[in-house]
Structure 1
Amino acid sequence: MVTEPASQVEENERPATEAPDGGNTRRGVLIGVGLAGVAGVAAACGGSDDSGDSGGNGAAGQQSPAAGGGAALAQTSEIPVGGGKVFKEQKVVVTQPAQGTFKAFSAICTHRQCPVDEVADGTINCPCHRSKFKIADGSVAGGPATRPLEEKQVTVSGGQIKLA
């Protein structure tokens, strides 16, 4: 009985990512590239590099289809004086820095494009790297962000706040 060396595996027992000559197949390379791309996206969303802004506007300038065009975001009575409310679906935050004055900003942090998650103590706060923005004008109040939140236009009529 003749036996083959252990290094020679039958073709149907070889992993799909290994060519008969021991090198990588196109399929294996593509799988590797795809996994590297997924890792890159994950790093961009949750990376710990706090060196500064990411450079582009990213999602900050984009609105969801429901963001504009008539539907009220909130009643004026829902937005506290000196505070605000985050509207996740519309990617906008509405504030009332002074009685009767309503402002709106992108709910996407300018540092790493994480969504802001709360308005407290006069600031709009990002949970990712602790950037803070002033409710009156969206300017940076702390954290690694260096650019203000993008201002959005709202209209107030009949006690309703709508994106313009």
Structure 2
Amino acid sequence: MTSASFKPTVGPALRTVMTAAGAAGLAVALTACGSQDGSGSSDAARAADPQAGGTGGGDSTTGSGDGAAGGGTVLAKTSEIPEGGGKIFKDRGVVVTQPTAGRFKAFSSQCTHQGCAVGSVSGGAIVCPCHGSEFSVTDGAVRRGPATQPLPAQDITVSGDEITLA
């Protein structure tokens, strides 16, 4: 046997390793960018009907104790949510807003751009610190990109002075 014909087979070929690494990287990138694509259509339908108070999150006109009876998680007292602003509950993955006096809304606290947690609520906007996306406190709609999908609405009820996550 000559040294020119000898080909050691110690592991997978370099081409195989590089192809697998590229495919794994692509999968990670697509997952990060597209994690909210499947829920956008129902959220857009909710956002399109601003009179549907209770469907995109509870409001004070529809809350009648359903959250407590249904075993939901009490998030906050209504007095803790500033009018025109909101509060982020990082441990529950939700942001609760009060767009107008006595009307409360809830949205996912995960930005629809790349999945970062939103960082603040100010000036009528829910703000993502990662790339500057802003969402409306009223309906979760995108006010400023790069996000293109609204924040998904979360179901809440308001009973008395308690806001409950369904």
TM-score interval, smaller chain: 0.5 to 0.7
Q: Note closer, same or farther for the CA distance 1:25–1:158 as it changes in structure 2 (3 Å cut).
A: same
Deviation, structure 1 residue 163: 1.3
Distance in 1 of aligned mates of 2:98 and 2:36: 29
Q: In structure 2, the residue corresponding to 1:77 is in which secondary structure?
A: helix
Q: In structure 1, the residue corresponding to 2:106 is in which secondary structure?
A: strand
1:83 paired residue among 82, 85, 102: 85
Under a length normalisation based on structure 1, what TM-score does the superposition of the two structures give?
0.63
2:11 paired residue among 25, 29, 32: 25
Answering whether residue 140 of structure 2 is matched by residue 154 of structure 1, we say no
Deviation, structure 1 residue 39: 9.8
Which residue of the partner structure matches residue 125 of structure 2? 123
- After TM superposition, the structure 1 = structure 2 runs for residues 1-164 of structure 1, keeping only pairs within 5 Å, are 24-25=10-11, 37=24, 41=28, 56-57=37-38, 69-164=71-166
Q: Note closer, same or farther for the CA distance 1:104–1:38 as it changes in structure 2 (3 Å cut).
A: same
Distance in 1 of aligned mates of 2:96 and 2:141: 14
Q: Note closer, same or farther for the CA distance 1:55–1:159 as it changes in structure 2 (3 Å cut).
A: closer
Under a length normalisation based on structure 2, what TM-score does the superposition of the two structures give?
0.63
Distance in 2 of aligned mates of 1:56 and 1:82: 28
Q: State the aligned residue count.
A: 132
Larger Rg: 1
1:69–1:163 contact (8 Å) kept in structure 2: no
- What code does the residue aligned with 2:11 have? T
- What code does the residue aligned with 1:56 have? D
- What code does the residue aligned with 1:74 have? A
Q: In structure 2, the residue corresponding to 1:89 is in which secondary structure?
A: helix
Tell me which protein shows more helix as a share of its residues: 2
Deviation, structure 1 residue 71: 2.2
Distance in 2 of aligned mates of 1:25 and 1:95: 56
Distance in 1 of aligned mates of 2:89 and 2:9: 52
- What code does the residue aligned with 2:156 have? V
Residue-by-residue CA offset, 1:49-71 (whole Å, 9 max, x unaligned): xxxx666349xxxxxxxxx9422
Deviation, structure 1 residue 22: 5.8
Q: Which has the higher contact order (CA 8 A, sep 6+)?
A: 2
Identity, % of aligned positions: 50
Q: Note closer, same or farther for the CA distance 1:38–1:146 as it changes in structure 2 (3 Å cut).
A: closer
4+ residue runs over 6 A deviation: none
- What code does the residue aligned with 2:165 have? L
Which residue of the partner structure matches residue 3 of structure 2? none
